Structure 1
Amino acid sequence: MSKDQTSSLESEIEEIRDRLAGTIDELIYRGSPKTIAQRQVAAVKAVYVDPVTGEPRMGNIAKTVGGVVGVGLVMATLRMITRTN
């Protein structure tokens, strides 16, 4: 191998190492619990707040509140039924 070929291979290997290091850093960042939690919070927030205007999405809020109240009523009703028997 000539000196030019060796130098070329060394620089190519160094570039590959740099790319791999960047990829590994990105994977570590994406897989960190803090980053995952931030993504999940943003996803839930996007359901209830319009990301463009910042206005609350009342339809989705009402559905959630209705579901929580409904589950609470069902649980209270079941508790009352089981206590009377």
Structure 2
Amino acid sequence: MNDQVSSLEREIEQTRDRLAATIDQLVYRASPKTIVKREVASVKAYFVDPSGAPRQDNIIKVVGGVAGVVALFVLVRRVVRD
């Protein structure tokens, strides 16, 4: 009987330790600083490959999209003014 109680106490302690570690991981992952770092790394990976060279194809796509949006705004503004 005493062995069963001791075994249960060990199990409870191990479960408590796992739960504490899981909570610590969740707090870390949900931290605003961690989220920002993760997003910055994601954006950087889109424009720079692992060797540090720029990914020209992705850069050209974004620059083209921005230029298209600016051109659209200019066109709409001219049409509205006239």
Band of TM-score, shorter chain: over 0.9
- Structure 2 equivalent of residue 37 of structure 1: 36
Find the residue that maps to 1:60 and give its secondary structure. Answer: helix
With structure 2 as the length reference, what TM-score do the two structures score?
0.92
Number of residue-to-residue matches in the alignment: 82
Could you tell me how far apart the structure 2 residues matched to 1:11 and 1:82 are?
Answer: 75
Find the residue that maps to 2:49 and give its secondary structure. Answer: coil
Shift of 1:35: 1.1
- 1:67 aligned to 2:60? no
Could you tell me how far apart the structure 2 residues matched to 1:21 and 1:69 are?
Answer: 50
With structure 1 as the length reference, what TM-score do the two structures score?
0.89
Structure 1: 5+ residue runs without aligned partners?
A: none
Identity %: 59
1:1-85 paired onto structure 2 within 5 Å: 2-51=1-50, 53-84=51-82
Cα RMSD after superposing both structures: 1.0
Provide runs of 4+ in structure 1 moved above 6 Å: none
Per-residue CA deviations over 1:1-43 (Å, capped at 9, x if unaligned) read: x222211111111011000100111111111111111111111
Structure 2: 5+ residue runs without aligned partners?
A: none
